[in-house]
Copies of this chain bind each other. A is one copy, B any other.
Amino acid sequence: MGKVTIDTIGKYDNQDVTVCGWLTHKRSSGRIRFLVLRDGTGTIQATCIKGETDNQVLDLYQELTQESSLAVTGTVHRDKRAPGGYEILVSSIEVLQIAETYPIAPKEHGVGFLMDHRHLWLRSSRQHAILRVRHAVINAARNFFDDQGFTLLDAPILTPSSCEGTTTLFEIDYFGDKKAFLSQSGQLYMEAGAMAFGKVYCFGPTFRAEKSKTRRHLTEFWMIEPEIAFADLETVMKLAEGLVVAIIEEVLQTRKEELHQLGRDLTRLEQVRPPFPVVSYDEAVQIVQDAGESMPWGEDFGGAHETIVSNHFDKPVLIHRYPAETKAFYMKNDPDRPEVALCVDMLAPEGYGEIIGGGQREDDPALLGQKIEKAELPAEDFAWYLDVRRYGSVPHAGFGLGIERTVGWICGLEHVRESIPFPRLLDRLYP
């Protein structure tokens, strides 16, 4: 008889075991008392029967509150009627703590209340399922790059300059003599890394001090960002497709149960197979216009426009060659058509918005210098970035995939805030 976790209970049929966990709920029916226990690996029903189970244990049943911590000892018993197929016939219960009245009752709570109790909300089966999908997404992404010989190169979080303008940056006083900014993207550093390692990626938190209160925005979110030397737009479009396919495959293989729990329509995810549709910005504008929306060439898509385009396809769609004016300074212009940039965004299906942004980088030192000047960025902060073009510049390209939006799409979440353990929003810094 030893301590076991609920996910392994099937190995101990007819044996005596102890399970440590928390009480999710209890109910009684005639002579029978059911305790439902969770331990992080699963849930199991522990059964006490009047006349058979020790009276001391039955008395305890009354006292136990939701989320009380227990060590339940008893015999594992296969029972088709039990959720999970097994139950424990209780012989003894050790109470670690009788919990105070648990604030999250099985009734509807407002989102603000749940977010204030995020540290407890994580215990719910729904949050559990989402964050286990998140783990699978992250592992799939890392394995995808590791298996192809990319080197992980962690980008710095504290940076001397901004990647895409300073209005949406969090600023820090760095020991009283400098300003530092929280990184919005590791891309610039990955470009330097690609010249050293050929293929690199970073994976870490990034920050945007955007005053946006939409269902797609967090102030702190995680990105995985590959960068490749001797690569062009086409190469990274294929890579982006491959990454998303690999993520979906991994999730469908290892997290089907969680997706069912979330009520996700699996057929929508099963459609995510290569090749993905590829359209130019021009074609995407046409799709928006054909849907009756007025959108002049040259503007960036708004959320509603993105939804129109993504609803046009049943897979993620790659949109390439946006007007250069709408994109960041480091993008390379299309030599055949300088008004557009060699860039690509991937929109998730079902209106979940942009999950990938990337493209080919400006590799000409003179042109890049002009672009930095035009963007009014401080030249001294970007001297090192120009160096990357002065010493053996090569065509190179990369992209960033946002983890939370990807998880939000895969799980079918209404709001991206549930896709990260402790979300940070415009008005949310706690817990």
Q: Is the pair B119, A192 in contact by a Cβ cutoff of 8 Å?
A: yes
Residues of B within 8 A of A134 (CB): 152
Contact A122 B387 (CB under 8 A): no
- Check A392–B97 contact: CB distance below 8 A: yes
Would you call A99 an interface residue if the criterion is a C-beta within 8 Å of the partner chain's C-beta atoms? yes
Q: Give Cα distance in the complex from A154 to B69, angstroms.
A: 25
Partner among B128, B155, B195, B393 whose Cβ is within 8 Å of the Cβ of A421: B155
Q: Which partner residue on chain B sits nearest A197 by CB separation?
A: B40
Instruction: Scan A316-337; emit 1 where CB is below 8 A from any B CB, else 0.
Output: 0000000000000000000000
Task: Please measure, in the bound complex, the distance between the C-alpha atom of A362 and the C-alpha atom of B214, giving whole angstroms.
Answer: 39
Query: For the complex, what is the distance from the CA of A131 to the CA of B116, rounded to whole Å?
Result: 40
Is A91 interfacial (CB 8 A cutoff)?
no
A contact residues, range: 35 or more
Which of B198, B219, B222 contacts A40 (CB under 8 A)? Answer: B198
A394 touches B119 (CB 8 A): no
- The docked-state distance in angstroms from the alpha carbon of A269 to that of B51 is 61
Determine whether the beta carbon of A178 is less than 8 Å from that of B392: no
How far, in Å, is A398 (CB) from chain B's closest CB?
14
Q: Could you list which residues of chain A lie within 8 angstroms of chain B, going by C-beta atoms?
A: 3, 5, 7, 20, 22-23, 39-41, 67-69, 96-97, 99-100, 102, 117-120, 122-123, 127-128, 131-132, 134-135, 138-139, 142, 146, 149, 151-160, 170-175, 178, 180, 182, 189, 192-199, 204-205, 207, 209, 211, 219-220, 222, 229-230, 381, 384-385, 387-388, 390-395, 420-422, 424, 426-427, 429-431
Q: Other CB < 8 Å A-B pairs besides A100-B390, A204-B205, 5 of them? A: A20-B229, A22-B195, A96-B395, A123-B196, A135-B153
